[in-house]
Structure 1
Amino acid sequence: MQLSTDDTEALRKLLEDRRKAVAPESLGYGGRSGVGRPVEGLSQEQIDELTGRARGTYSRLVNGRLERPKPQYLQDIARLLRMTEQEWTHLYWLTRREYPAPLHEDAGMVIPGVWSNIHRIEGVIAYVADAAWNLITCNREFEELFPGNRPPSNVLLYMATDPTRHTLLLDWEQSWAPWIFPQLRRAISERPEDEELKRLEQLVLSDREAGPIYTGTGLVTVPFPDGAQRPFRHPRHGDGVVDILAADPRNSRGAGFVMLAWHSGDGSAARQEDLRAPVTLASRSLMT
């Protein structure tokens, strides 16, 4: 795959900015001395040595001349240069035109601090959980669903095993369980070594009611909740339904941002039509 001039420049900037930020001393190299132009950060030769590649390999990568580099090499480079998940995804896309698996074990377990602004959302129930459904932050409407305004520390564990879940999640067996457990199965299959997910799975399996349902859940269909409507008893408003809006923070793959919009009714109304922009650039050009 031949990189364009713009992609080559973007690749060079990404790699060289990260290379210059890594002090050789932090990896056991002494200070440089002698003649020659001073080099910031690791040298290209040191990168080749540390990644176990032939001399000149990094030079070919940074200049866009290493055609479709192997995933393992890109991973070695990204970890050596201490890239973030966003930088790792950018590197992988530039060189392979594919989206990679997460680079770090804590991918999806941390989110940018600006997500604390969720507490300012009003009119809907909103929360953010990490890749193992541990609650990170939420708004007041979410807190008010629970006694003492104390929400559960793990959202999926609450939905799967908490004895009080039936208070909120109406028709749990038919309307909620069928999409709760496939999500956990999917996460386990993608992160089989994740200790948080393994512990969560153990707790679900040990539950008398949830365990047999989870065991019988397959991986063929994963009904993600985005766009779904479920029966829900609101502590203040009573029985009704919630429209579920779900998305992922872009810089924290695996974490989840969920909003629940409660309204009265039994969910029997016709499905809402998908939304699209009333005017697009293409349609606007046809009108002029």
Structure 2
Amino acid sequence: MDRVELGAFLRSRRERIGPADVGLPVGPRRRTPGLRREEVAALAFISAEYYTRLEQARGPRPSREVLSGLARALRLTDAERDHLHELAGAPRSAAPGPPREVRQSILDLVHRLPGSAAFVTSATLEVLAWNDLAAALMEDFSALSRRDRNLARRAFLGPRDEGPSLYGVSDATAFARHAVCRLRGAAARYPDDPEVSALIRELHCGSEEFARLWASHEVDAEPTLSKTFRHPLVGPVTVACDALELTDRDQQVVIYTAVPGSSSEQALRLLAVVGTQRMTAPG
């Protein structure tokens, strides 16, 4: 770790970014060129004292998560990001496989959205975290093995006793294309991960649709803005779809919301009460 060069590099990158570039007020008495140290620290989710020590060549070796936060806060290019890691003595290398650990702040966010169905997926579309409404709308992920929580496997192969099925969604075909694009990207980023290779091989052998889509070599799918679930208990539920990319973890937060006052919002409210329990309608 080159503490002196690291401190100088951080300072130079900080001074080139204006407050307005990151949505901060300029203020009438700003004497520091660029951002203040405490502003960079806040944007990187680290303490101002720790960041100051890094700039002054007195700090300990930063973790990869801290480096990712600094690179994001300072808006580094890919080359600058690589240089930052080199100076910190932590050269960037390909991760062995898609990260599965979800950051605590993201877990908190998912569970603070009681009116929305929210969940987190990995680069291979494994559901890593979810809130109660997502489980009620889709399925009880807590009752599934890790293998069966993969949405790509669910879309192309389905549960063993049901065949291909994806919660009766209206955009099953579009999601299939999206899943193939996600998996192709994961295969390129994690070429040595046996789980990624095994999943793609399984889908290729078990689904003609997957094999056809994989052969097209598409890498970019149109985003889905809304979809309708055909729920066995509450009927059709139409939701807006928003996906937030967590680039440092190669994960995605998916949030489903209904139009306020709509029948779909009422259906989601009912599901929030019912949860994942099974209910049988009277004959």
Please give the alpha-carbon distance, in whole angstroms, between the structure 1 residues aligned to 2:212 and 2:66: 36
> Does residue 1:156 correspond to 2:147, yes or no?
no
Secondary structure class of the residue paired with 2:253: strand
Pair 1:228–1:235, CA change in 2 (3 A): same
| Corresponding position of 2:211 | 212
| Corresponding position of 1:142 | 134
> Does residue 1:230 correspond to 2:272, yes or no?
no
State whether residues 125 and 139 of structure 1, in contact with CA within 8 Å, keep that contact through their aligned partners in structure 2. yes
- Percent identical among aligned pairs is 17
1:1-288 paired onto structure 2 within 5 Å: 5-7=11-13, 13=54, 16-19=58-61, 83-88=63-68, 90=70, 97-98=77-78, 99=81, 104-105=95-96, 108-117=99-108, 118-146=110-138, 150=143, 152-162=148-158, 163=163, 165-170=165-170, 172-173=172-173, 175-219=174-218, 221-223=219-221, 225=223, 228-249=225-246, 252-262=248-258
Pair 1:261–1:11, CA change in 2 (3 A): same
Aligned-pair CA distance for 1:92 = 9.8
Residue identity in the other structure for 1:168:
G
Which structure's CA Rg is the greater one? 1
Pair 1:136–1:172, CA change in 2 (3 A): closer
Aligned-pair CA distance for 1:109 = 2.4
Please give the alpha-carbon distance, in whole angstroms, between the structure 1 residues aligned to 2:226 and 2:138: 21
Q: Which runs of 5+ in 1 are unaligned?
A: 20-80, 266-288
Any idea what the Cα deviations from partners look like across 1:163-196, whole Å, max 9, x if unmatched? 25244223523x3322221121122122222233
Please give the alpha-carbon distance, in whole angstroms, between the structure 2 residues aligned to 1:92 and 1:114: 17
Aligned-pair CA distance for 1:244 = 1.4
Please give the alpha-carbon distance, in whole angstroms, between the structure 2 residues aligned to 1:122 and 1:3: 43
How many residues matched? 198
Secondary structure class of the residue paired with 2:105: helix
State whether residues 228 and 236 of structure 2, in contact with CA within 8 Å, keep that contact through their aligned partners in structure 1. yes
Residue identity in the other structure for 2:114:
E
Secondary structure class of the residue paired with 1:127: strand
Please give the alpha-carbon distance, in whole angstroms, between the structure 1 residues aligned to 2:238 and 2:135: 18
Please give the alpha-carbon distance, in whole angstroms, between the structure 2 residues aligned to 1:211 and 1:84: 35
Pair 1:139–1:196, CA change in 2 (3 A): same
State whether residues 180 and 214 of structure 2, in contact with CA within 8 Å, keep that contact through their aligned partners in structure 1. no
Please give the alpha-carbon distance, in whole angstroms, between the structure 1 residues aligned to 2:60 and 2:75: 16
TM-score (norm 1): 0.55
Pair 1:232–1:222, CA change in 2 (3 A): same
Any idea what the Cα deviations from partners look like across 1:193-230, whole Å, max 9, x if unmatched? 223322221221122344323333323x51263x5223
State whether residues 95 and 190 of structure 2, in contact with CA within 8 Å, keep that contact through their aligned partners in structure 1. no
Please give the alpha-carbon distance, in whole angstroms, between the structure 1 residues aligned to 2:71 and 2:171: 46
Taking only aligned residues, the RMSD between alpha carbons, in angstroms, comes to 3.7
Please give the alpha-carbon distance, in whole angstroms, between the structure 1 residues aligned to 2:185 and 2:237: 29
Q: Which runs of 5+ in 2 are unaligned?
A: 1-7, 15-36, 38-50, 83-91, 264-283
Please give the alpha-carbon distance, in whole angstroms, between the structure 1 residues aligned to 2:52 and 2:96: 24
Please give the alpha-carbon distance, in whole angstroms, between the structure 2 residues aligned to 1:167 and 1:107: 25
